Amino acid sequence: MSTPPDQRPSGAPPALAGPTRRGALARLGLGAAGGALALGLDPRGGWFSRVFAADLTEAELFAKKDGLVTLNDRPLNGETPPWLMDEAFTRTSRHFVRNNGKVPARALSGDATGWTLTIDGEVKTPLTLDLAALKRYPKVEQAIVIECGGNGRVSFKPGAKGNQWTIGGVGCAVWGGARLKDVLADAGVTAKAVYLAYYGEDTHLSGDPKKVVISRGVPIAKALDDVIIAYEMNGAPLPALHGFPARLVVPGWPASTSGKWLKRLWVRDQVHDGPKMEAPSYRVPAHPVAPGETVALEDMRIIERMPVKSVISAPRSGTQITAGRAVEVRGHAWSGERAIEAVHVTTDFGATWTACDLKPARNPGAWQRWTAQITVPQQGHYEVWARATDSAGEMQPMVVPGWNPKGYLNNAMHRIALKAVDA
Ligand SMILES: Nc1nc2c(c(=O)[nH]1)N[C@H]1C(S)=C(S)[C@@H](COP(=O)(O)O)O[C@H]1N2
Ligand SMILES: [Mo]
C-alpha cells in the first residue's frame, strides 16, 4: 500500500511509509490483516485488490532473500553462494537477482489488474493479452537455468566494471507459463521477422520516465524455439523481483535476454537495437584478444548460447573432512542448448581426475546433478575442482578464458578448499 520512498512526489509527507506503519502493525500482531485495516488511509485507492498486495519495497523484498550476497543495492543485484545452490532446483528465496533499473510499482503491488502484454511489429495480427488471456495458452513447467552473462566477472584481469559476480549469478528454478512460440503463432509472424525484442515496465535509475532501462531480445529462430513467457516461478505467481506479472525465460542464453516485467514484445525486421543490445553491452570480441587490449565496437559480436559450466554445491568451501574417509562432493552442470556428457573432479590440481555420477536433466534447459566420492590420503589442505564436458565435447577451462573488455563468459572450473584432519 505504501509508495516506495523514491517514487513519492517530492515534498509529499512520508506519513504512510510502509516499513514504519507495517512495523507498528506487526508489533500489534496484526500481520496481513493490518493491510486491510490501513486501507482507509491509502490515498491511492484501489483498495479491494490491495488487501492482497505484497506492499514491500524492493529493498524489503531483497531482505527476505535467504543468504544472497549483495553486489549492489542501486540497482539491486545479489548472488547466491554456491553452498546455497545444493537443492535440485533453486528455490525463489535463493535465486540471484539482477536488476538494471527499479522494480516497477505494479510488481511491488502484486496486482496485475490493468496489466497487458502487447505483441506487435512483424506480425499479421497484433495482440494485447492480459494475464487471463496469457494463461489460456497451454501451460508448460520447465526447470531452466538462467545465468547472467557477467557471472564470474570478478576473476578477469585486468578487471571489468560492473557487478563483480563470483559464481552465484546463476540459478535453475522451475518456471511456469506459455510457450512464446504459441503466442507468436497466434499473432502470425511475417516473413520479414528477424528478431524478437522485449520491453519491460521497470523504471530508469535517473527517474526519467522516457528512458528505457534495458531492451534486449533474441533472433526470431530462438524465439520460435524454446522460450517461455513465464507467469510462475517454482509454482507461485512470479515474484516482484523476478518480473511480476510475466517475463521471458530463454534457455541457455545470457539471462539478460530473459526480459522481466514484460509490457511489449516487438517482432522486428532487423537485429534489435534497444538499450544494452549495442556494443559493448553483452558482446565479446569476435576474435580472441590479449588481456587489456582495446577492442573496436564493430569487432564485437552479440553473445548467444552460454558456455559449459558447473558449480560445486557441497561441501561448502572451508569444510573440515577426515583423511582416508570418503566424502561426497556434488553440484550441478549445464551448457547452453546442450546436454552435459560428463563431469570430473580432481583433488590434486588436475593431475588425476575422477568421473562423477551424472543424472540426466529434468528437461532440456535444466542443469544436471553430479556426485562423486573423494578420499584424500593424509591431513592437510586440499582443493577440489570440477570440470564439465558437454555433448559437443566442449570442456570447462582450468583458468579464466577469453579475456574481454566487459568481463563476460567466464566458465573456468569452480574450485573449493577442504581441510583434512587425521582420523
Ligand atoms: N526488464 C528487465 N529485464 C531484465 C533485467 C532488467 O534489469 N530489466 N535484467 C536482466 C539481466 S541482466 C539478468 S541476469 C536477468 C536476471 O533475472 P533474475 O533477477 O530473475 O535472476 O534478468 C534480465 N531481465
Ligand atoms: Mo545479466
> How many angstroms separate the alpha carbon of residue 98 from the centre of ligand 1?
5
Say if residue 30's pLDDT is above 70.
Answer: no
- Measured from the CA of 248, which atom of ligand 1 is nearest? 24
Nearest to 337 by CA among 183, 222, 247, 194: 222
pLDDT band at 216 (very low <50, low <70, confident <90, very high): very high
Q: Are residues 144 and 27 part of one domain?
A: no
* Structural contact between residues 350 and 383, judged by C-beta atoms closer than 8 angstroms: no
Report the candidate in 1, 51, 47, 40 with the shortest Cα–Cα distance to residue 21. Answer: 1
Q: Where are the beta strands (DSSP E) in 180-258?
A: 195-200, 217-219, 228-233, 236-237, 247-249
Does the pLDDT of residue 156 top 90, yes or no?
Answer: yes
Whether residue 163 is contained in a domain is answered as yes
Q: Which domain holds residue 377?
A: 308-421
Mean pLDDT of the chain: 89
In a domain, 225, yes or no: yes
Residue 46 lies in a domain: yes
User: Are 252 and 338 part of one and the same domain?
Assistant: no
Q: Concatenated DSSP letters for 249-269?
A: E-TTSBGGGS--SEEEEEEES
pLDDT for position 74: 92
Q: Could you read off the pLDDT of 295-332 as tens digits, one per residue?
A: 999 999 999 999 999 999 999 999 999 999 999 999 99
Task: Give the per-residue pLDDT at 7.
Answer: 34
Q: Which atom of ligand 1 is nearest to the CA of 199?
A: 1
Provide the pLDDT confidence category of residue 55 given band limits of 50, 70 and 90.
confident
| pLDDT, tens digit, 9 for 90 and up, residues 233-243 | 999 999 999 99
Domain end point (choices 275, 302, 329): 302
**Ligand 1 atom 21, closest CA:** 97
Instruction: List the residue whose alpha carbon is closest to atom 10 of ligand 1.
Output: 256
Pocket test of ligand 1: the residue of 69, 72, 95, 98 to mutate, having most ligand atoms within 8 Å of its CB, is 98
Query: pLDDT confidence of 93, banded at 50, 70, 90?
Result: very high
Note the pLDDT tens digit of each residue in 261-297.
999 999 999 999 999 999 999 999 999 999 999 999 9
Instruction: Name the helix (H) or strand (E) containing 414.
Output: strand 414-421
Nearest CA to ligand 1 atom 14: 148
Closest ligand to residue 79's CA: 1
Q: Do 353 and 373 share a domain, yes or no?
A: yes
pLDDT of 53 > 60? The answer is no
Q: Are 99 and 204 in contact (CB under 8 A)?
A: no
Both 138 and 287 in one domain: the answer is yes
204 and 275 inside one domain: yes
Is 1 among the domain residues?
Answer: no
Which of 214, 215, 228, 302 to mutate for ligand 1's pocket (most ligand atoms within 8 Å of CB)? 214
Residue 2 lies in a domain: no
- Pocket flag, ligand 1, residue 96 (CB < 6 Å): yes
| 131 and 215 both lie in a single domain | yes
Q: How many domains does the chain have?
A: 3
Specify whether 77 is located in the same domain as 165: no
- The one-character DSSP state at 153 is G
Same domain for 142 and 35: no
Residue 54 confidence class, pLDDT cut points 50, 70, 90 = low
Instruction: Give the whole-angstrom CA distance, residue 237 versus residue 235.
Output: 7
Pairwise CA distance, residues 173 & 146, whole Å:
8
- Whether 93 is in a domain gets the answer no
Q: What is the DSSP string of 17-84?
A: -HHHHHHHHHHTT-HHHHHHHGGGG-TT--HHHHTT-----HHHHHHTSSSPEEEEETTEEEE--GGG
242 lines ligand 1 (CB under 6 A): yes
Q: Which residues contact 402 (CB under 8 A, 6 or more apart)?
A: 284, 288, 409
The finding on whether 76 has its CB within 6 A of some atom of ligand 1 is no
The enclosing domain of 204 has a CATH number of 3.90.420.10
Q: What is the C-alpha separation between 250 and 365, in angstroms, rounded? A: 9
pLDDT at 48 > cutoff 50: no
Question: Is residue 412 pLDDT above 90, yes or no?
Answer: yes
Rg (CA), the chain: 23
377-397, pLDDT tens digit by residue?
999 999 999 999 999 999 999
Out of 29-43, 58-72, 324-338, least confident range: 29-43
Do 298 and 315 fall within a single domain?
no
In the predicted model, is pLDDT for residue 345 greater than 60? Answer: yes
> Cα of 26 to ligand 2 centre, how many Å?
36
* Domain at 386, CATH number: 2.60.40.650
Same domain, 136 and 285: yes
pLDDT of residue 21: 34
Residues 282 and 322 in one domain: no
Rounded to 5°, the CA angle 338-339-340 comes to 125
- Give residue 17's pLDDT: 32
In which residue are the cell numbers 539471462 written?
Answer: 255
Give nearest CA residue, ligand 1 atom 9: 99
- The answer to whether residue 13 scores a pLDDT higher than 70 is no
Final residue of a domain: which of 36, 53, 84? 84
pLDDT, residue 45, reads 42
- The secondary structure of 168-190 as a DSSP string is -SEEEEEEEEEEHHHHHHHH-B-
Region 47-70: what's the mean pLDDT? 77
> Which pLDDT score, from 0 to 100, does residue 15 have?
32
